[in-house]
């Protein structure tokens, strides 16, 4: 007890001598918090070693109409909970199974669908959502004659990675305005692009319309190699309409001839001052019939279709040759003339009388002639060929055959 009393005054004396204390003034009361220790910072979730990141890779299958999309996590600091694939062309959404660490999505499409694979992947993770977009061009490989209407394309535009025309392959544009964008064109011998086949032109225009034109063909090629022929043809114009027939009713029959008259004479006979019986007036022939009216002239043939034009844009080429032929459609044949009106009937002969000669019926009128055949329609317009090369700019020309190449 004595030691405690000694220590307490000593402690108070030392506190009064601390720097900043006022030993002469009254002491400032100090609040003492029992068991108060410096507070440690609040515990927080450890920051992820990296942000949510997913790498997308695309692998092409041996089959031209299939690809495999892989979604690979760049770290193990998060997990993938669900994946939705949104088709940017059709708007359809499909859930992709999540089986394991990485996502594998194999995509196939019909050979006839040339639209790009274009999708957005909505990847939901435990740390938030990630959106990845995939747009991959397809390949168009032809070995036979096909029509562009056999394919699904986007508004007259074909966008492909490779356009491969094997030997003898033909792509028929059917006269559509068509733009083909290809990263690479490879064309074999006798391969061609045509507006219409020869048979199309022969069978064209069974209805009364102008010939269909070849349209505009735009080829945007990053690289081209091989030999290609482009045949720009227009359809033949239709035959003109037939002229209007004249009325097929005959004109009114011509007037009849006048009847003959008989004179009986006097019964006493000629020896006693009488007169013999006689024909006092000969009957007359009937009047000739009226000529028929001519038929109307046929209508002119319809114009032929324009050949169409070609715009070839080359960024690069190697051992590439092209031949472009332009053949506008011929004008349609003129329409036949309309039928003429039949001639009017001749008038009947005048009535017979004793001792009078016999009269004749009038000749029928001449039938109206058929109308003249219409004129042949004009040929279609000759299109232009424009070549754009990175090294030399754009040049255009208009003639029936254009050839060129790049070594």
Residue range 246-273, pLDDT digits in tens: 999 999 999 999 999 988 887 665 566 6
Whether the pLDDT of residue 169 is over 50: the answer is: yes
What architecture is the 54-136 domain classified under in CATH?
Answer: Sandwich (2.60)
Cα Dmax for the chain? 218
Provide the Cα torsion 58, 62, 63, 69; round to 10°.
Answer: -20
**Tens digit of pLDDT for each residue in 351-380?**
999 999 999 999 999 999 999 999 999 999
Comparing C-alpha atoms, which of 154, 151, 190 is closest to residue 174?
A: 151
Reading the block at residue 256, the tokens are 């009849």
The pLDDT score that the predictor gives to residue 65 is: 85
pLDDT value at position 35?
33
Taking a C-beta distance cutoff of 8 angstroms, is the pair 73, 132 a contact? no
Question: What value does the mean pLDDT of the chain take?
Answer: 86
- pLDDT, tens digit (0-9, with 9 covering 90-100), for 54-65: 999 999 988 778
- Average the pLDDT over 90-94 and give the result: 95
- pTM, two decimals, is 0.74
Look at the chain and count its residues: 407
Which among 203, 389, 390, 380 is positioned nearest to 302, based on CA atoms?
A: 380
Q: How confident is the model at residue 389 (pLDDT cuts 50, 70, 90)?
A: very high
Structural domain boundaries in the chain: 54-136, 139-240+299-335+375-406
CA pair distance 51, 49, nearest whole angstrom: 7
Instruction: Report how far residue 73's alpha carbon sits from residue 99's, in angstroms, rounded to the nearest whole number.
Output: 13
47-56, 70-79, 215-224, 375-384, range with the lowest pLDDT: 47-56
pLDDT of residue 268: 62
pLDDT for the residue numbered 207: 75
């Amino acid at each position: 007890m004595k030691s405690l009393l000694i220590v307490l005054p000593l402690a108070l004396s030392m506190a009064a001598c601390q720097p900043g204390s006022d030993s002469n003034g009254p002491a400032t009361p100090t609040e003492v918090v029992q068991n108060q220790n410096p507070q440690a910072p609040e515990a927080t979730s450890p920051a992820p070693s990296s942000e949510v990141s997913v790498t997308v890779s695309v692998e092409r299958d041996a089959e031209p109409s299939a690809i495999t999309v892989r979604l690979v996590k760049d770290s193990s600091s998060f997990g993938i909970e669900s994946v939705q694939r949104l088709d940017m062309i059709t708007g359809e959404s499909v859930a992709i199974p999540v089986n394991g660490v990485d996502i594998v999505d194999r995509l196939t499409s019909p050979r006839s669908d040339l639209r790009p694979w274009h999708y957005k992947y909505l990847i939901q993770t435990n740390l938030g959502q990630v959106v990845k977009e995939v747009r991959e061009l397809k390949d168009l490989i032809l070995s036979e004659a096909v029509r562009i209407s056999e394919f699904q394309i986007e508004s007259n535009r074909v966008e492909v990675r490779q356009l491969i025309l094997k030997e003898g392959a033909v792509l028929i544009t059917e006269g559509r305005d068509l733009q083909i964008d290809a990263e690479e064109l490879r064309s074999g011998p006798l391969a061609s692009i045509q507006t219409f086949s020869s048979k199309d032109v022969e069978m064209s225009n069974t209805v009364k319309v102008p010939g269909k034109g070849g349209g505009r063909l735009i080829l945007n090629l990053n690289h081209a190699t091989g030999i290609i022929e482009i045949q720009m043809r227009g359809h033949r114009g239709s035959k003109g309409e037939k002229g209007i027939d004249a009325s097929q009713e005959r004109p009114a029959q011509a007037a009849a001839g006048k009847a003959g008259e008989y004179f009986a004479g006097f019964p006493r006979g000629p020896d006693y001052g009488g007169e013999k019986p006689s024909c006092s007036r000969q009957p007359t022939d009937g009047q000739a019939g009226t000529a028929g009216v001519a038929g109307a002239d046929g209508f002119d043939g319809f114009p032929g279709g324009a050949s169409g034009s070609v715009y070839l844009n080359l960024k690069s080429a190697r051992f590439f040759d092209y031949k472009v032929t332009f053949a506008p459609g011929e004008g349609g044949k003129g329409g036949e003339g309309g039928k003429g009106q039949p001639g009017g009937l001749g008038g009947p002969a005048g009535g017979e009388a004793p001792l009078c000669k016999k009269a004749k019926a009038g000749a029928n009128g001449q039938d109206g002639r058929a109308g003249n055949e219409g004129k042949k329609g004009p040929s279609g317009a000759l299109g232009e060929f424009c070549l754009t090369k990175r090294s030399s700019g754009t040049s255009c020309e208009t003639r029936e055959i254009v050839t060129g190449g790049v070594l």
